[in-house]
Copies of this chain bind each other. A is one copy, B any other.
Amino acid sequence: MNKYLKKWGKLIKETALRSSVGIIYMSLVIAAILLGREYVYALLSAMALITVYEIVNMEFKRDALWKKLIYSFVGGILWILLFFVSVKVFLVSLFVLFFLWFFTYAVLLKKEESVFASSYYMFFFLLVYVLVGLYIGIDIYVSKGKMFFLSLFLMVSTFDVFSYAGGKTMGKTKLVPTISPGKTWEGFITGWLALTIAEVIFWLLGLWKVEPYTLGISVLLLAPVFLTGDLVESVVKRKADVKDSGFIIPGHGGIWDRIDSTIASFYIMWLLIYIEQVVQNGLL
């Protein structure tokens, strides 16, 4: 009996922490989106810089602080190039910096073992993944407007909340035990159903402005993509053998943990919007 109470006590405490963090996060997001373009840019930039710092802390957790700061600084420079210049300049600069790092370590410092370490290649891969992911969010915001952008964030939250609730109350069949032991098929399906309802409501209200076929495709794909974005972050965290991706919110993962599904949703929605435009106007 005592044990039972303890279990429920822990669950309530966990849910309360989770909810307050979620509410603070969503308040910031909603405020930025309603306040206008500059605030959205600032929000995405803040997400980009903090996530880069978190990735650096995962991939190079044993390195000295000054090294971590240099790697984070490089990530910051790359975000600025992506944001103010172009994807091409961003990518070319990324690989030129990669050469600079490679030459310095292998030839000048004679630390040949470093250039064999997977964490560096992983770091460059994740830089492209996270920075480009947040950057194309801007395209979605600009082309579809603030209410569409807001709907997407609300849909991610809906999926998160209902997957969690469904998993905690009905969860039995583990989904991906070695990657994320808390996730169950029951939770995932609950999240998917809630997401579908939210999506259809937003569509009927005219906030989620997409063609009917895009609605159909996104009902099918968004939930698996949200889940995948979350799992990618878990795998990276586990590969790096750290528990939390971040440092800002104690006991609650990091910023990347918050925005992992959002980043993934930007990719799939950007592509669906692009296909919509090609269907309507042809290529070019």
Question: Cβ of A178 < 8 Å from any Cβ of B?
Answer: yes
B87 and A88 within 8 A (CB): yes
Give every chain B residue within 8 A of A85 (Cβ-Cβ). 283
Per-residue B-contact encoding for A92-134, CB less than 8 Å = 1, 0 else: 1101101100110011000011011010011011001100110
**Which B residues are CB-close (under 8 A) to A121?**
118, 121-122, 125
Closest to A229 in B: B99
> How distant is the Cα of A133 from the Cα of B271 in the complex, in angstroms?
23
The digit string for A211-239, where 1 denotes a CB below 8 A from any CB of B, is 00000000000001101110110010011
Check if A91 is an interface residue, CB within 8 A of chain B.
yes
Choice from B96, B179, B229, B271 contacting A268 with Cβ under 8 Å: B96
Query: Does A36 belong to the interface (CB within 8 Å)?
Result: no
Complex interface residues of chain A between 58 and 86 (CB less than 8 A to chain B)? 85
User: Within the complex, which residue of B87, B89, B106, B227 is in contact with A179, where a contact is CB–CB below 8 Å?
Assistant: B106
Q: Of the candidates B116, B125, B133, B283, which one forms a contact with A124 in the assembled complex, judged by CB atoms under 8 Å apart?
A: B125
CA distance A225 to B229 in the complex (A): 35
Interchain nearest-CB distance for A69 vs B (Å):
24
Residue of B nearest to A179 (CB): B112
The CA of A125 and the CA of B274, in the complex, are separated in Å by: 24
Q: What per-residue 1/0 map shows which CB atoms of A266-283 lie under 8 Å from chain B? A: 011011001000000001
> A125 contacts which chain B residues (CB < 8 A)?
121, 124-125
Contact of A238 with B116 in the complex, beta carbons under 8 Å: yes
Q: Is A176 an interface residue (CB 8 A)?
A: yes
- B225 contacts A99, C-beta separation under 8 Å: yes
Cα(A90)–Cα(B85), bound, Å: 18
A176 to B103 Cα, complex, angstroms: 10
| Chain B min CB distance to A232 (Å) | 6
Task: Indicate whether A118 sits within 8 Å of B128 (C-beta atoms), given known contacts A102-B231, A267-B96.
Answer: no
Contact with B along A173-186 (1 / 0, CB 8 A): 00111110000000
Residues of B with C-beta under 8 A to A122: 118, 121
- A116: chain B residues at CB < 8 Å are 235, 238-239
Contact status A91-B128, CB under 8 Å: yes
CB–CB A136/B92 < 8 A? yes
A237 CB to nearest chain B CB (Å) = 11
Residue with the highest number of chain B CB atoms closer than 10 Å, among A106, A175, A231, A239:
A106
Question: Does A264 interact with chain B (Cβ within 8 Å)?
Answer: yes
Chain B: which residue is nearest A88 at the CB level?
B87
Q: Which of B92, B103, B129 meets A228, CB within 8 Å?
A: B103
* Set B87, B264, B268, B283: member contacting A91, Cβ < 8 A: B87
For this complex, 8 residue pairs linking A to B, each with C-beta atoms less than 8 Å apart, are A87-B87, A92-B271, A95-B129, A102-B232, A106-B176, A106-B179, A112-B178, A121-B125
